[in-house]
Amino acid sequence: MKLVKSIVRPHKVDDVRDALEKLSIAGMTVTDVRGHGRQKGHTAVYRGKEYSVSLLPKVEIEVVVPDNVVEDVIEAIMAAARTGEIGDGRVFVLPVEQSYNIRTGAKETS
């Protein structure tokens, strides 16, 4: 199993979710986050005053998926979240050692 963690633009969440649903990925965790990558924010001007916007709003989507669909999931997320502009986000893939269902107590296997 792998934990696929993607950081995407806020307005792309629905697209990513739809893409994952098409792959029958049932569960996901969505969190509002702020951060910056190479983009490193920018400056904005309001009423003549410049202020720096160093941490940009993003959304983190986490899904745990079986090894055999990891590539499809990554591809689906990238296609759904891409605009081609700087700031589209990142996808990270991490190994998952064990997984349990809290209600049933059952250990899940991929």
Nearest partner of 4 among 90, 80, 85, judged by Cα: 90
Fill in the amino acid letter for 72.
D
The reply on whether position 33 binds other proteins by CB under 8 A is yes
22, HSE (Cβ side, Cα atoms, 13 Å): 12
Binding mask 68-107 for other proteins (x = CB under 8 A): ---------------x-x----------------------
Measured in Å, how far apart are the chain's first and last C-alpha atoms? Answer: 6
Compute the least distance from the CB of residue 22 to other proteins, in Å: 20
Residue 48 or 95 having the CB closest to other proteins: 48
Contacts for 52 with CB less than 8 Å, ≥ 6 apart: 41, 42, 43, 44
The reply on whether position 48 binds other proteins by CB under 8 A is yes
Residues that bind other proteins (CB under 8 A): 9-12, 14, 32-34, 44-50, 53, 57, 83, 85
